[in-house]
Amino acid sequence: MTVTVEFTAGGDLRLSAEVAARYFPADSLVAVPRGSELWLLPLVGPEGGGLLLKQRNTRGDRSALVWEALPAEAPIGERYAVWDEANGALRVDVR
């Protein structure tokens, strides 16, 4: 399934409430750069470290600061992402 995520100029990752609930139900993740992609891997909970998804609005949209995991030419705006069942990661093209 293909979904969209958004990157801001400040290095925030923004997820809709639906995407966050489906792939990151514990509101925590790890952002791992892999070539031209950023892999977003869900964690069981915030106890293990990683990034905490914070609620942005009353709809339940979420955001996390991921600038450290982004390439030097950080993407800005919406990007397509695909859930990789085999690796348990939401894979985002950041070229």
Summarised one tens digit per residue, pLDDT across range 72-94 is: 888 899 999 999 999 999 999 99
pLDDT for the residue 87: 97
What is the pTM (predicted TM-score) of this model?
0.93
Residue-by-residue DSSP string for the chain: -EEEEEE-TTSEEEE-HHHHHHH-TTSEEEEEEETTEEEEEE-S-GGG-SEEPEE-STT--EEEE-GGGS-SS---EEEEEEEETTTTEEEEE--
- How many other CB atoms sit within 10 Å of the CB of residue 74? 15
Q: Is the pLDDT of residue 22 over 90?
A: yes
**42-63 pLDDT, tens per residue?**
998 767 779 999 999 999 999 9
What is the pLDDT at residue 44?
85
Domain spans in the chain, listed from the N-terminal domain onward: 2-93
- Across the chain, mean pLDDT equals 94
